[in-house]
Homo-oligomer: A and B are copies of this chain.
Amino acid sequence: MKNIKLVARYDGTRYSGWQRQEDSDKTIQGKLEQVLRRMTGEETEVTGSGRTDAGVHALHQVANFKTADTRSPEEMKAYINCYLPEDIAITEAVEVPLRFHSRLNAISKTYMYRIWNAPYHDPFLRKYSLHIPQPRLKVKAMRRAVEYLIGEHDFTSFKTSVSKNKSAVRTIYDIRFEKNDDTLEIYIRGDGFLYNMIRIITGTLLEVGMGKLAHEDIAGILDSLDRSKAGPTVPPHGLFLIDVKYPDEALNI
């Protein structure tokens, strides 16, 4: 038995997200499992580092599966890419220790949310960014706002509540901005994220950037533990999972 770690890149536009559902054609996990079962002839199941929601993209999602297949990881990668649809690709396949688990061993994840901030729409980024025609966002205020979010906090105000009694304490290591002409990319790295957390944080930062909230309001929103105090949940098509990190000892055979 071998354990294979995969890195996947996908355009989430036409999928209901990562996680397998009854109609396996509609999810990334479902599509991947179809191809793996064809390759291995086994009832292969894939474990992802976490779900991505409907419409969310990934430049670097990590998954793993166990198999008795005798192909090398490079041969598997070539086989899988050959049968995957064009909007999903495997960029890496390596053998890892049998104990490796792509979700449980993950120590940090980075997401990027892209905003297109110009009066007109962009023909090439329209499916890969949120269009904010105006006003020109105040990035300086947004940079000050994120200082309140860095570190370990109860992020109850920044999640869509589904489960009740679970802890909403998470650690955000870093939030940085990349501004290029009319695009603003927000990179958020943390130990893990609650349901819709990145999209609600982004929606709240945008209210700061638009002058609807002051940067120091973030402290009160965080303390309130009240979702209704934070900004809106921005749409999924601007969101990309861009990295998942593991400790070396989880990966080294």
Contact = CB atoms under 8 A, between A and B. Distances in A.
B81 A123 contact: no
Interface stretch (A114-122, A160-168, A188-196, A203-211): A114-122
Contacts of A89: 120-123
A10 B78 CA distance: 34
Contact of A121 (B57, B86, B126): B86
B86 A120 contact: no
A77 interface: yes
Contact of A11 (B10, B90, B120, B123): B123
Contacts of A128: 124
Contacts of A25: none
A41 to B, nearest CB: 23
A9 interface: yes
A90 B120 contact: yes
A119 B92 CA distance: 11
A62 B126 CA distance: 21
B119 A78 contact: yes
Residue with the highest number of chain B CB atoms closer than 10 Å, among A91, A120, A121, A128: A120
Contacts of A123: 9-11, 57, 86-89
A120 B87 contact: no
B10 A86 contact: no
Nearest to A118: B91
Interface in A81-137: 81, 86-91, 119-124, 126, 128
Contact of A87 (B10, B57, B87, B126): B126
Nearest to A91: B120
A9 B90 contact: no
Contacts of A91: 120
Contacts of A77: 119-120
Contacts of A78: 119
Nearest to A87: B123
A11 B125 CA distance: 10
Residue with the highest number of chain B CB atoms closer than 10 Å, among A77, A124, A126, A128: A124
A211 to B, nearest CB: 22
Nearest to A59: B124
Interface of A: 9-11, 57, 77-78, 81, 86-91, 119-124, 126, 128
Nearest 4 pairs of A and B residues by beta carbon: A81-B120, A11-B123, A89-B120, A87-B123
